Every structure is written in C-alpha cells, then in structure tokens.
C-alpha cells in the first residue's frame, strides 16, 4: 500500500488543527464594511443567512430605517477596504484524500473557487448583484437587478421585480453559495444529461435568465412567480431555447422560527428540431431554526418526457425522487458542526450514463471560524451507493 497520500493528508490535518489554535478576531466583508457592522448581523454562521439577512437582501441590500435594527447591531471599526467600494472576494481551497472503488487518490484544489461579488443599491428602489469566477472560467454566474415596488390589493402585494441571470437562491436559504459543504446538494445537481452532453441540461443549481415577481399573500405567505429562458440545448447555453419555462414558489414562516415552502418548475427543452423534452420539478422544504440548532429538509419529485430516443433511457417518461436532511449545530462561539444525508434515485435510466441522477451520501463536517470571514473546514463524505467514492477533505473558505 502506498502510504504517501495518507501521510500527506495527515500533515494537512495537523496544519489545520495548528492554525485553529490561533486566536480569532473580527471579520468585515463587503456589506459589513459599508454599514460598519459585524458579519453575524446577517449571518448565523457565514455563509448561511439569518432572518435579518434575508430581509436585508429582499430590501435591495439596504437597511430599513423603519426597523429597530440599529439598537441591536454590533459595530466594528476595523475596516480594511473603502466603504464605498461594493466589492467582495471569496476564495475556497481544499485538499482531499479519496477512495474510488477502493483506489486511493490525493488531490489539491488550490483554489477550488475564486468568486468575485459586487452588489449594492443604485437608488432607494433599484439595486444590483454581480457574481462569478472571472479568474478561473472567465464567466459571470449571476448578474441581475432588483426593483422595489409597492403594489397592494386585498388579496396580494407585489414587492419586487427581478431581472437578469440568476439561480433559485434568494428564496432557498439552503441554496448553493450559502451552504457550508464544498459539494452542492445532490438534488440541485440532478439532471438527465450524460458526460457527452446528451440529454436535458436543466438542474436546479444552474443560473438562468429570468424575470421574477415577488410579493406577499395573506397570512404572511411569500410568493414568487417567474418566466425563464430555460436551460437551452447545452449546459450554459440560454438563448437557443424558443419555449420558455415557468416556476412558482410559496413560502410561509411560522412563529419566527419555522418555515415551510414549495416550488413548482415547468419547462420545455428543444433537443433537436421537432424533438421536445417537457419536464417538471416539484420541491417541498422545511426549515426549523433555533438559536444554536438548525434542521433543514427538502424533497424533490420530478419527471422528464420525450427522452426515449436517447441511449440509456428505456421509457417514454423518467421519474425522479430525491431528498436531503441536514442538521447544523453551533458548538461554540466560532465552532460549527454539520451532518447531512443526500439521496437521489431515478427510474428507467442507466446509472452508468446518467450518474447525476443517483446519489446516496452522508456528509460530516466540522468548521472553525478563525475569523467570521475565515473558515477552516474538515469534511468527510461517505458514499453509500455503488459508486463507492469516499472523500476526506480539509480546506479554507475566505472572504474579504
């Protein structure tokens, strides 16, 4: 047995633990610099948003002067960049030791991602967001504007119009980009596309070009309705799909701590002239949020039609089912633990060709926030499926 990969991994763990022993200090990413607040005003533990952070985001990245937030917020004077520059940078890097069907492998992902963010308010009603990885893949993942409106009727209100290229992240507090783990949730990655690019390129975790309306219904229920250009024929292609997609989201908060939501997505993908793939995705999610403990769960139901001509698919319709259950616990002031179970399964599809449609993993993670914008990660991913791919990681997540 080759002991060098294991020795390297143990050295990395030692360095991780050694660095964790250094005394922590305050953190000041972009919005904190602008408003002179510490990160925990908007985050329970970065990058997860708390309820004030979600309200701040929905309000066009502005503080609501009507609230009493000023009396509750902690402030910091240790600013390292100009307040007026709405720019942040996030760097994620990791080293991992993995087993793929019993074969060990060591990889260094330095960096795993270098993400640039810019966001802020242009007027009291107009705000913007830009994010992407221009240093690695020379692309912008999300770029959009938000316009606050004040339409009210006895039955509903319209609060926001959003337009641009974006994912389903504003109303999914557990969406990619705000989750703790390095890997995305399996249900967000699930798509009926093989490694050669044949099939439906749609997945919940991919940004799309959309126009979105958002508001409130009676009994404090939030609604979101959008029309989207759809995924296109190839991954990352938005403009070559003549038919539009639609999605509807309902979300309700109970007692300030418990939330339940549902999402329906209806789409059409024109794979070739005269060949259309019609698909639906339905999600139910719950979030139980206490001071130190947070439990989140989400269930996915989906169906694709019109893919029977693709090799590896044996039926005129393909049904999908998946879910995840995630528990987060704040062990101490700057320590955070996570446990998650992911499961995805699909009918009448070859697992060898469409591996994204099959997953069964357990993820265990321990995070230490050396500063609130500097997180050290220790993570184990145990694969319970036939892929038999286990991963051990140590890494960092740094924002400035």
155 conformational bin, left if phi > 0, alpha if psi -120 to 50, beta if neither: alpha
pLDDT tens string for the chain (400 positions)?
444 444 444 444 444 444 443 433 333 366 666 666 666 677 766 666 777 777 777 676 666 544 434 444 444 443 343 455 678 888 888 888 888 777 888 888 877 778 888 888 888 889 988 888 876 665 667 889 999 998 998 889 999 999 998 887 655 544 445 577 878 888 988 888 887 778 888 888 888 889 999 999 988 888 999 999 876 555 555 555 567 899 999 988 887 678 899 999 999 887 766 778 899 999 999 988 877 888 989 999 999 998 877 888 888 888 999 999 999 898 877 888 999 999 999 988 888 788 888 999 999 999 998 877 888 999 999 999 877 788 999 999 888 8
Residue 247: name the closest of 285, 277, 219, 283 by CA: 283
Q: How many domains, in total, are found in the chain?
A: 1
Cα-based distances in Å from 100 to 4, 21, 103, 383: 17, 33, 5, 10
The encoded tokens of residue 388 equal: 């038999």
Q: What is the CATH number of the domain that holds 98?
A: 2.40.160.10
Question: Could you list the residue range(s) of the whole structural domain that residue 379 is in?
Answer: 4-399
DSSP structure class, residue 295: E
Its sign, for the CA torsion 14, 15, 20, 21, is: positive
> Which residues, including other chains, have CB under 8 Å from residue 144's CB and lie 6 or more apart?
128, 129, 162, 163, 164, 165, 166
């Amino acid at each position: 047995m080759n002991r060098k990969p294991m020795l390297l991994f143990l050295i990395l763990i030692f360095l991780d633990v050694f660095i964790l022993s250094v005394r922590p200090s305050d953190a000041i990413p972009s919005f904190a610099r602008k408003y002179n607040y510490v990160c925990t005003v908007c985050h329970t533990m970065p990058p997860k948003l708390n309820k004030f952070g979600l309200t701040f985001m929905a309000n066009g990245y502005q503080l609501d002067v009507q609230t009493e937030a000023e009396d509750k917020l902690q402030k910091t004077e240790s600013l390292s960049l100009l307040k007026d520059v709405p720019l942040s940078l996030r760097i994620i890097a990791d080293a991992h030791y993995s087993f793929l069907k019993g074969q060990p492998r060591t990889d260094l992902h330095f960096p795993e991602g270098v993400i640039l963010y810019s966001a802020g308010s242009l007027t009291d009603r107009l705000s913007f967001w830009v994010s992407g990885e221009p240093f690695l893949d020379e692309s912008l993942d999300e770029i959009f504007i938000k316009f606050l409106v004040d339409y009210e009727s006895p039955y509903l209100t319209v609060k926001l119009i959003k337009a641009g290229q974006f994912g389903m992240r504003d109303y999914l507090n557990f969406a990619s980009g705000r989750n703790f783990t390095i890997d995305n949730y399996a249900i967000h990655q699930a798509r009926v596309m093989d490694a050669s690019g044949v099939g439906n390129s749609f997945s919940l975790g991919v940004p799309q070009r959309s126009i979105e309306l958002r508001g409130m219904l009676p009994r404090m229920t939030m609604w979101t309705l959008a029309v989207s250009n759809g995924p296109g024929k190839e991954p990352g292609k938005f403009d070559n799909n003549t038919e539009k997609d639609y999605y509807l989201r309902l979300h309700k908060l109970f007692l300030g701590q418990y939330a339940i939501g549902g999402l329906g997505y209806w789409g059409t993908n024109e794979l070739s002239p005269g060949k259309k793939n019609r698909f639906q995705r339905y999600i139910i999610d719950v979030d139980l949020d206490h001071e130190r403990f947070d439990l989140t769960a989400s269930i996915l139901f989906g169906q694709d039609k019109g893919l029977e001509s693709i090799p590896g698919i044996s039926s005129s319709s393909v049904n999908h089912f998946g879910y995840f259950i995630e528990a987060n616990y704040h062990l101490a002031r700057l320590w955070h633990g996570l446990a998650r179970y992911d499961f995805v399964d699909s009918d009448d599809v070859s697992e060898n060709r469409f591996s994204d449609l099959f997953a069964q993993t357990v993820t265990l993670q321990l995070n230490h926030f050396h500063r609130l914008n500097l997180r050290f990660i220790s993570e184990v991913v145990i694969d319970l499926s036939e892929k038999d791919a286990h991963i051990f990681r140590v890494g960092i997540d740094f924002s400035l």
